[in-house]
Amino acid sequence: MSKQIFINLPVQDLQKSMDFYTAIGFTNNPQFTDDKGACMVLTDAIFVMLLTHEHFRDFSSKEIADTRKTVAAINAITVESAAAVNEIADKAIAAGGNQYADPKDYGFMQQRCFEDLDGHNWEVIYMDMTKFPQG
C-alpha cells in the first residue's frame, strides 16, 4: 500500500468549506463524509479532512488555533504548470479565499499563496528543475 497524507482542518461551516475546496479542484469522497466532517480528495494520496470544530476536538485536547490571526501550518501542493498555479489560486480567491502574499517567480519555481475560508494557508507551486540554479 502506498503512503497517503490526510490533512485535518477544523472548519466553521462544513458545507461552505466543501464548496470552497470543490471550487479549487478537490472532489468529495462521500464514503468518509457526514454532518461532522468531509473527505476532500486532491490525488490518490492526498486528502483534506474538513472537520467541524466539535468533531476536531475529538482528536485533540488543545485549543483550536484561530488561523485568521495565527499561522498553524502552511500546506503546499505542486502542480504540473505555471498556468495551473494561477488557475488554482484564482479559483481560490474567486471562491472566497484570500491571497496572503504576492505571487513569486524564482526562475525555476512559481508560487501563489492563499487562505481558505477559515484562514488555513496554502501555497500552490510549479517547479521546473531544469531551470534550477547550478553551482
Helix axes 14-23, 82-94, angle to 10 degrees: 150
Compute the average pLDDT of residues 60-83. 95
Question: What integer pLDDT is reported at residue 62 of this predicted model?
Answer: 94
Total number of residues shown for the chain: 135
Question: What integer pLDDT is reported at residue 85 of this predicted model?
Answer: 98
Are 1-58 and 75-135 the same fold in CATH? Answer: yes
Q: Quick one: fold of 75-135?
A: 2,3-Dihydroxybiphenyl 1,2-Dioxygenase; domain 1 (3.10.180)
- Domain limits of the chain? 1-58, 75-135
Q: Which helix (H) or strand (E) holds 37?
A: strand 37-41
The pLDDT of residue 133 is above 90: no
Contact 92, 116 (CB under 8 A): yes
pLDDT tens sequence across 5-59: 999 999 999 999 999 999 999 999 999 999 999 999 999 999 999 999 999 999 9
Quote the mean pLDDT of the chain: 96
Compute the average pLDDT of residues 98-120. 97
Question: What integer pLDDT is reported at residue 22 of this predicted model?
Answer: 98
The pLDDT of residue 1 is above 80: no
Question: What integer pLDDT is reported at residue 2 of this predicted model?
Answer: 85
Backbone angles phi, psi at 106, to 5 degrees: -95, 15
Contact 116, 10 (CB under 8 A): no
Question: What integer pLDDT is reported at residue 135 of this predicted model?
Answer: 75
* 32-54: burial string, b at 16+ Cβ within 10 Å, e else: ebeeebbbbbbeeeebbbbbbee
Compute the average pLDDT of residues 93-120. 97
15 to each of 2, 36, 88, 102, how far by Cα in Å? 30, 10, 20, 29
The number of C-alpha atoms within 13 Å of 34 and in the hemisphere containing its C-beta is: 3
pTM as predicted: 0.93
Q: Quick one: fold of 1-58?
A: 2,3-Dihydroxybiphenyl 1,2-Dioxygenase; domain 1 (3.10.180)
C-alpha 65/C-alpha 11 separation (Å) is 11
Percentage of the chain with pLDDT > 90?
A: 95
